[in-house]
């Protein structure tokens, strides 16, 4: 089956429109991340210093009781997860962690993120995961994978739509070669 230029134009148009929100999320959060504006920027973070760590097995009840005593919100999901050696509960919007500070003092930390923090964590493939075929994905991961595949189709369809620069192929291949060289050099110099 031969795909005509008009079909490639439609593929290019509709995929680019469908994935425009994802492209904006990746572009904005990616640029801000480079300037060290991370997922906790603008988040409401509260730390409660503790006298001691709770007894093993009593952590969940201890965290919930401490949150209630300090009139703080209890996360909807109170299942404890171990993350980097710390116990956490909640989700990427509102989470609670039982950690130790640099001095070894136990702390309960609550983090209530705004929209930017949530989008940054989506960019980093963080969030509620579901198992599928031995892999764990969030729903946004499917958008991310589709967007990645579509980026390849955008370039392919763009080249086909322009019939790869009729009459200017030498310049086009020169620009393509320069792109590969400069990108490779940038990666090498960043290691």
**What pLDDT score was predicted for residue 45?**
96
Residue 136 domain-assigned (yes or no)? yes
Residue 135: how many CB atoms within 10 A of its CB?
Answer: 9
Q: For residue 98, give every residue at least 6 positions away whose Cβ sits within 8 Å of its Cβ, in sequence order, or none.
A: 53, 54, 59, 63, 86, 87, 88, 106, 107, 108
Express as a percent the part of the chain with pLDDT over 70. 95
Asked if residue 48 and residue 28 are part of one domain, the reply reads no
Asked if residue 140 and residue 101 are part of one domain, the reply reads no
At residue 4 the predicted structure's pLDDT band, cuts being 50, 70 and 90, is confident
Residue 59 domain-assigned (yes or no)? yes
CA distance 92 to 126: 8
Residue 21 domain-assigned (yes or no)? yes
Answer yes or no: is pLDDT of 8 > 80: no
Which of 52, 79, 112 is where one domain is finished? 112
Residue 151 domain-assigned (yes or no)? yes
End-to-end Cα distance, the chain: 45
Asked if residue 136 and residue 108 are part of one domain, the reply reads no
Is there a contact between 41 and 116 (Cβ–Cβ < 8 Å)? yes
Asked if residue 138 and residue 184 are part of one domain, the reply reads yes
**What pLDDT score was predicted for residue 164?**
61
Residue 179 domain-assigned (yes or no)? yes
DSSP annotation of 127 reads: S
CA distance 45 to 101: 14
Asked if residue 53 and residue 29 are part of one domain, the reply reads no
Q: Is the CA virtual torsion 115, 120, 126, 130 positive or negative?
A: positive
Q: How does pLDDT run across 99-144, given as a tens digit for each residue? A: 998 888 999 999 999 999 999 999 999 888 888 888 999 899 999 9
Instruction: Tell me the HSE value of 26 on the side-chain side, using a 13 A CA sphere.
Output: 14
Q: How does pLDDT run across 22-47, given as a tens digit for each residue? A: 999 999 999 999 999 999 999 999 99
| Average pLDDT, integer, range 164-186 | 84
Residue 117 domain-assigned (yes or no)? no
Asked if residue 95 and residue 79 are part of one domain, the reply reads yes
Asked if residue 50 and residue 105 are part of one domain, the reply reads yes
CA distance 64 to 96: 10
Host domain of residue 161: 5-36+132-190
Answer yes or no: is pLDDT of 95 > 90: yes
Asked if residue 48 and residue 20 are part of one domain, the reply reads no
Residue 82 domain-assigned (yes or no)? yes
**What pLDDT score was predicted for residue 170?**
80
How many structural domains comprise the chain? 2
CA distance 95 to 118: 12
Residue 120 domain-assigned (yes or no)? no
At residue 163 the predicted structure's pLDDT band, cuts being 50, 70 and 90, is low
Asked if residue 102 and residue 52 are part of one domain, the reply reads yes
Is there a contact between 83 and 29 (Cβ–Cβ < 8 Å)? no
Which of 83, 112, 141 is where one domain is finished? 112
Asked if residue 98 and residue 146 are part of one domain, the reply reads no
């Amino acid at each position: 089956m031969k795909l005509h230029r008009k079909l490639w134009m439609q593929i290019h148009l509709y995929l680019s429109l469908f994935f425009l929100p994802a492209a904006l999320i990746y572009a904005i959060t990616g640029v801000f991340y480079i300037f060290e504006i991370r997922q906790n920027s603008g988040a409401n973070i509260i730390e409660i210093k503790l006298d001691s760590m709770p007894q093993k097995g009593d952590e969940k009840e201890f965290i919930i009781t401490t949150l209630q005593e300090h009139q703080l919100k209890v996360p909807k999901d109170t299942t404890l997860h171990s993350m980097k050696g710390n116990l956490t509960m909640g989700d990427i919007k509102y989470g609670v962690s039982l950690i130790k500070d640099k001095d070894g003092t136990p702390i309960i930390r609550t983090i209530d993120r705004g929209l930017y923090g949530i989008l940054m964590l989506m960019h980093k493939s963080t969030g509620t995961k579901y198992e599928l075929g031995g892999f764990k994905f969030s729903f946004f991961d499917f958008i991310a994978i589709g967007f990645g595949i579509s980026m390849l189709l955008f370039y392919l369809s763009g080249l086909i739509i322009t019939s790869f620069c009729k009459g200017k192929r030498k310049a086009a291949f020169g620009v393509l070669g320069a792109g590969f060289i400069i990108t490779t050099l940038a990666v090498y110099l960043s290691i």
